[in-house]
Amino acid sequence: MTSPASDDVPDYAPVPPSALGPALNDQGYYVGRVERNLYWVTDGVYNSAFLTTPDGVVLFDAPPSIGHNLQRAVDEIAAAEGVSNRVTHLVYSHHHADHGAASSLFGTDVVRIGHEDTRRLLLRDDDPTRPAPEVTFGDSYTLEVGGERVELAWHGPNHTPDNIYIHFPDHDTLMFIDVVNAGWVPIYNTNLSEDVIGYMGAPAIALSYPWTHLISGHVGRLATRDDVAVHQQYIADIEASSREALASVNPVPFYVNAGANVWLGIKGHLNAVTEAAAAPVIAKYTGVLAAADIAEFTNTTTFAIMQSLRLDKGPSGPVHP
């Protein structure tokens, strides 16, 4: 198992066995077959994927926490299957360093591919560990290497402005990063996502694709369609609870008690709404999704969704007469 025993952290709920993935090897990674010549690699916290072809290996994301173990995983499979271990292409799911900062390990001869905003953002960030992709696209791109086909698509901003859907139609698999964590709650602020409305709608787009296996970028196992459905219900429960709390928590006492310090009034009001909205969700999902009992995660995700309801969907509140 990739997580410590619950006895090691007695102040927290045990991690449900369903949230755990396979054991890591002595070098700190696990590599397994998804379908046919598509493989996935994990260090228990991050995951990546690669496709072996007669013309070389296509790597999908390069998390630095896996780092040189990416090539070791490729070497392991190549030796077992009698195929090339040379990485010829690298696809960025999005521009974030935690999923791409091992890209430079593969040298300058690799063809890097990503959304046009990924190139723009990587050029802006000027990080030598993440060379900008030379091949870019706007809405969709079909990658064909060694007789294999991968469909890349952008359906609008979600976790980031450039986060894409990577579909392997011949491998019954979708790779979609940083939205659903298989068996776990999102971490702070909807997985640190930049577009809350896009984040909330992204799982439905993911489910519109035909697939059985989901490579989600984090934690130690592959996700299923059921995992996505549980995630959707968790988010839907937060939205419903936030709407109820916004309507039921009276803001007036917080502003009256704060006097001239209006920011203190806002703090009291919004904290009260957040706590009222998050509490039933934490109770419902503790024991169902790992880390649901870590209040900061559900509280901050609730705050982000509650604020998006006020600011994006509206109305924010009653109009002054």
DSSP sequence for 176-229: --SS-BTTB---HHHHH-S-HHHHHHHHHHHHTS--SEEE-SBSSS-B-HHHHH
Pairing of strands 87-91, 165-168: unpaired
For residue 4, what pLDDT is reported? Answer: 42
Query: Half-sphere exposure (CA, 13 Å, Cβ side) for 183?
Result: 19
Closest CA to 239 of 295, 277, 198: 277
Could you list the beta-strand ranges (E) of the chain.
30-35, 38-42, 47-53, 56-60, 87-91, 111-115, 135-137, 140-145, 148-153, 165-168, 173-175, 213-215
What does DSSP assign to residue 6?
A: G
- DSSP H or E run through 16: none
pLDDT of residue 58: 98
Q: Could you tell me the strand order of the sheet in which 87-91 lies?
A: 30-35, 38-42, 47-53, 56-60, 87-91, 111-115, 135-137
Instruction: Please give the Cα distance from 117 to 138 (Å, whole number).
Output: 8
Select from 47, 46, 16, 22 the least CA-distant residue to 289: 16
Spatial distance between the Cα atoms of 291 and 15, rounded to a whole number of angstroms: 7
Helix 196-207, helix 225-248: angle, nearest 10: 150
pLDDT of residue 320: 74
pLDDT along the chain (321 residues), means of 10: 51 94 97 98 98 97 98 98 97 98 97 98 98 98 97 98 98 98 97 97 98 97 98 98 95 96 97 97 97 97 96 78 84
Paired strand residues for 167:
151, 174
Cα–Cα distance between 263 and 4 in angstroms, integer? 41
* Calpha distance 139→150 (Å, rounded): 14
Alpha carbon distance 177, 320 (integer Å): 43
As given in the structure block, the two tokens for residue 279 are: 């509490």
Distance separating alpha carbons of residues 257 and 63, to the nearest angstrom: 48
| Angle in degrees, CA 215, 235, 117, rounded to 5 | 55
Positive/negative CA dihedral, 163, 164, 165, 171 = negative
- Predicted local confidence at residue 3, as pLDDT: 42
Model pTM score: 0.94
The pLDDT of residue 8: 58
Smallest CA-to-CA distance from 3 within 84, 14, 11, 12 is with 14
C-alpha dist (Å) from residue 253 to 212, 241, 249, 271 = 51, 21, 10, 13
